């Protein structure tokens, strides 16, 4: 829209548009912009959790439990979920140096199908058809998980 306005102003300055034509064109452009319905945002109301992948699951998990007093809420051979207030911190066994694997947003009125439909429009890929929670990569390559605000996580095997 900015480019269109700049073109109209340039045409006005060069005498290709009268003042009246410029004003009518701007009014029409403004009216058209206001009638385009914006898609409602999916409202993130919590950072539900952050999950890291580390080379030594038990060493890292023990550090966070002891240093920050995070209780072990769930565990498997490859994943520990540590409590952080009403949220949690995920620690997963990984290869290589430690890194942030993903972060998770709790979405008001979470509707997995609607979110996936919007992701398809944006040509963004997601990892599952779960109704409870799923992950996708944002345009910059960050892995993002979404679910309802009260999601408590699940450990795999």
Q: Residue 145 CB: number of other CB atoms within 10 A?
A: 23
Spell out the domain ranges in the chain. 2-35, 44-147
Q: Looking at residue 55, what is its pLDDT?
A: 97
| Residue-level pLDDT at 37 | 65
Residue 35: predicted pLDDT: 65
Task: Give me the percent of the chain exceeding a pLDDT of 70.
Answer: 95
| pLDDT for the residue numbered 1 | 65
CATH classification of 44-147 is 3.10.180.10, yes or no? yes
pLDDT along the chain (157 residues), means of 10: 79 86 81 70 93 97 97 96 94 95 95 95 91 93 94 81
Provide the whole-model pTM: 0.71
């Amino acid at each position: 829209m900015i480019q269109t306005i700049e073109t109209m102003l340039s045409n006005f300055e060069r005498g290709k548009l009268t003042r009246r034509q410029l004003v009518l064109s701007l009014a029409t452009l403004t009216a058209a912009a206001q009638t385009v319905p914006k898609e409602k945002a999916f409202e993130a109301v919590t950072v539900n959790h952050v999950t890291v992948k580390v080379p030594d699951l038990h060493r890292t998990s023990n550090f966070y439990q002891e240093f920050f007093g995070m209780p072990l809420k769930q565990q498997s051979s490859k994943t520990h979920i540590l409590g952080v207030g009403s949220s949690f911190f995920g620690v997963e066994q990984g290869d290589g140096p430690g890194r942030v694997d993903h972060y998770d947003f709790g979405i008001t009125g979470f509707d997995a199908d609607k979110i996936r439909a919007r992701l398809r429009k944006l040509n963004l890929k997601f990892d599952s058809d779960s109704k409870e929670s799923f992950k996708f990569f944002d345009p910059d390559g960050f892995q993002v998980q979404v679910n309802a605000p009260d999601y408590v996580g699940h450990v795999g095997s």
